[in-house]
Amino acid sequence: MSISPRKVESSKNEPKFACVVSKKIAAHAADRNRIRRLCREAFRSAAGAAHKAQAHIFYAKKESKTATFHDVTADVKSLLSQIK
């Protein structure tokens, strides 16, 4: 996965996120939905590492199609730790 942080104006001081999975990465909707679910859960478990009032956009790569929950969680935590 890759991440693209964006500053966001928000009345709530919470991190926001989105997970983008294109048809090029996963042709079947069930596969795209599975990757999005994994991404959402991984972000929720690592939300403490996310900066407040910032939006995070995750772009799935081909490897995410066969990735386990632990792989995705590790990727999300490492990407969030790189953001300063």
Listed in sequence order, the residues at least 6 apart from 21 whose beta carbon sits closer than 8 Å to its beta carbon are 32, 35, 36, 60, 64
**pLDDT tens for each residue of 33-75:** 999 999 989 888 877 766 666 777 888 888 888 889 998 888 8
Does 2 score more than 70 pLDDT?
no
In the structure, what pLDDT confidence band is assigned to residue 9 with cuts at 50, 70 and 90?
Answer: low
Does 12 score more than 80 pLDDT?
no
What topology is assigned to 2-82 in CATH?
Ribosomal Protein S5; domain 2 (3.30.230)
> Per-domain residue ranges for the chain?
2-82
pLDDT of residue 36: 92
Distance CA 61, CA 75 (A): 11
In the structure, what pLDDT confidence band is assigned to residue 81 with cuts at 50, 70 and 90?
Answer: confident
Whether pTM exceeds 0.85: no
User: What mean pLDDT is predicted for residues 27-37?
Assistant: 93
16 phi and psi, to 5 degrees?
-115, 160
Listed in sequence order, the residues at least 6 apart from 50 whose beta carbon sits closer than 8 Å to its beta carbon are 15, 17, 43, 56, 80
Q: Are 80 and 49 in contact (CB under 8 A)?
A: yes
